[in-house]
Amino acid sequence: MIRIYDAAYENDNGTHHSHLSTFWWVDEYGNTGTWTRQQAYNFVVANPNTVYISEGNASVTVLPYYFTNNPNVQWIQTVADGIIRDNLTQLAIRHRQGLVNR
């Protein structure tokens, strides 16, 4: 299992429409690394149900995003707490504010 513990926006200008571009992860052995958006997408597609994010005692699975008319648009998302796509962006918002997500 791999946990994404931080994320950052591409060209972070503080707008809602910036795209997440970098993801920091740690595996169950303590190995860490970073992924680009495309690397994260490719890993999640190749390894379903193995990537998650967590906060406190709650965790949610990271999923590939498929719902688009443009097959070149590829990213990852979560479905948690009844609000789709907000969990990864919260990591990036906290990253922008200098808060530790790990």
Q: Assess whether pLDDT exceeds 90 at residue 60.
A: no
Nearest to 65 by CA among 55, 57, 74: 74
User: Please, which pLDDT band fits residue 48 given cuts at 50, 70 and 90?
Assistant: very high
Q: Assess whether pLDDT exceeds 60 at residue 83.
A: no
Give residue 43's pLDDT: 97
